[in-house]
Amino acid sequence: MNIITAYIAQFLWIILLLTNLFGHPGQGNTGDGKFQTPDPKGGIRTEDIDKASLERYREYFGARETYPYSTIAMNQSRKSATPAEEDPVDVENKTPETYAGTEKGETPETEAKGGKEQPQEPVARGERKAPEAAPPQASEPPAVKKGFNQIVLDMIQTYKGGRYPYLMSNDYANYNGVTENIYYDGNLLLKAHPSGNKASHCVGITFEVFFKAMQEWNRRQGRNTDRIGNLSYAQMHDFMLQWYVASGSKSQGNLTTALEQYGLGRRITDLNAAQPGDFIDLSRENNTGHTVIFLGWIWDGGQITGLHYWSSQSSTGGISEKTEYFNVCRKDGTKYGNVMIDKLYIGRVTP
């Protein structure tokens, strides 16, 4: 009987050895290069980890002490993890700082104290340890006060994606180059095209942006959005006519004279002092003009040769950004363009 028992034990040992070598439907090699591990909830879970990936994980975990943040975080996370969560970390897609939950350049508190977790304070029998106070929450940062030029730049972004064709018309009684009716102090100041096509031209759209930006500025300052400064309707009407260069010659009436006369801004004469969001009235050598919102200068060989701007023009079919060049000469004597660099009226709004 003892001999038979010994043979049976030896036979079972051989079966177990063969099973460990060649695998069985519970763990080990599946024969297709993948590995299976028992799912803690029952059944089999196939992990898509080939042998090469497994070796990379082994190399990582063998050398993880070189990472300044990963070791402690890994130990802490594994202590609190459930069996279903104890899968290998996707090391290739996580940097050490994000893996440890710390900002770059910082050290976790336990590592800063020598790399060992600090012992918890003992609690006497029958007493309950008071819950730890929640860390103070950062208060909401105060609203950032934007300068007027930034409000202008934000405002022109609201026209993106829309259809705003260009239209110059002398039907002033019905259309004034703005995409929507503009009211001041409860009265109609400028009219959009009666068809509702949102057409515009250069002086109309730049005035519209100025007007809307002033309303937004007043709103942020807690002021009346129906008024700009202390201007009456008659004064605002005159301001608009100067902006439109409709009250005389450009040298006598333009957007900069309007801003200065009514205390809403000033003229910039130094080109290097111009800032994106300034307004510019320009003239060309072919006796045409344009009113634009300045975005930046074009430089070549250390000199300003052109400007990039936003406005409404026929060449772009309506509202768009565009670049034009000044009548300054290249080394070979040819001009970059026909915009007169000495006939620029640059206005900055300073409400």
Question: What pLDDT, on a 0 to 100 scale, did the predictor assign at position 79?
Answer: 37
Question: What pLDDT, on a 0 to 100 scale, did the predictor assign at position 248?
Answer: 87
Question: What pLDDT, on a 0 to 100 scale, did the predictor assign at position 116?
Answer: 40
Structure tokens at 34: 């993948």
Residue 256 has pLDDT above 50, yes or no: yes
Question: What pLDDT, on a 0 to 100 scale, did the predictor assign at position 161?
Answer: 87
Out of 37-46, 262-271, 342-351, which region has the weakest mean confidence (pLDDT)? 37-46
User: Contact, 108 vs 100, CB < 8 A?
Assistant: yes
Of 279, 306, 305, which is closest to residue 291 (Cα–Cα)? 279
Question: What pLDDT, on a 0 to 100 scale, did the predictor assign at position 223?
Answer: 93
Question: What pLDDT, on a 0 to 100 scale, did the predictor assign at position 13?
Answer: 58
Residue 128 has pLDDT above 60, yes or no: no
Question: What pLDDT, on a 0 to 100 scale, did the predictor assign at position 10?
Answer: 67
| Class of residue 92 by CB neighbours under 10 A (exposed 0-12, middle 13-18, buried 19+) | exposed
What's the average model confidence in pLDDT over 100-129? 38
User: Contact, 241 vs 189, CB < 8 A?
Assistant: no
Question: What pLDDT, on a 0 to 100 scale, did the predictor assign at position 11?
Answer: 65
DSSP notation for 32-89: SS-EEEE-TTSSEEEE---HHHHHHHHHHHHHGGGSTTHHHHHHHHHHH--GGG-PPP
User: Tens digit of pLDDT for each residue in 130-166?
Assistant: 444 444 443 333 444 579 999 999 999 999 988 999 9
Residues 307 and 336: their CA atoms lie apart, in Å, by 11
Residue 226 has pLDDT above 60, yes or no: yes
Which residues on neighbouring strands pair with residue 322, listed in sequence order?
Answer: 309
What's the average model confidence in pLDDT over 42-49? 38
Residue that wins the pLDDT comparison between 77 and 199: 199
Residues 324 and 339: their CA atoms lie apart, in Å, by 7
Residues 330 and 333: their CA atoms lie apart, in Å, by 5
Of 291, 180, 190, which is closest to residue 240 (Cα–Cα)? 190
The per-residue pLDDT of the chain, averaged, comes to 74
Residue 97 has pLDDT above 60, yes or no: no
User: Contact, 257 vs 244, CB < 8 A?
Assistant: no
Residues 41 and 19: their CA atoms lie apart, in Å, by 23
DSSP notation for 18-30: HHHHH-BBTBEE-
What percentage of the chain exceeds 90 in pLDDT? 57
User: Contact, 217 vs 151, CB < 8 A?
Assistant: yes
Residue 61 has pLDDT above 70, yes or no: no
Strands annotated E in 195-268? 265-268
DSSP notation for 146-214: --HHHHHHHHHHTTTTS---B---S-TTT--SBSS-EEETTEEEE-B-TT----B-HHHHHHHHHHHHH
pLDDT band, residue 15 (cuts 50/70/90): low
Do strands 182-184 and 44-47 pair parallel, antiparallel, or not at all (unpaired)? unpaired
CA distances from 62 to 65, 66, 68, 250, 332 (A): 8, 10, 14, 78, 68
Question: What pLDDT, on a 0 to 100 scale, did the predictor assign at position 59?
Answer: 47
Question: What pLDDT, on a 0 to 100 scale, did the predictor assign at position 41?
Answer: 40
Residue 350 has pLDDT above 70, yes or no: yes
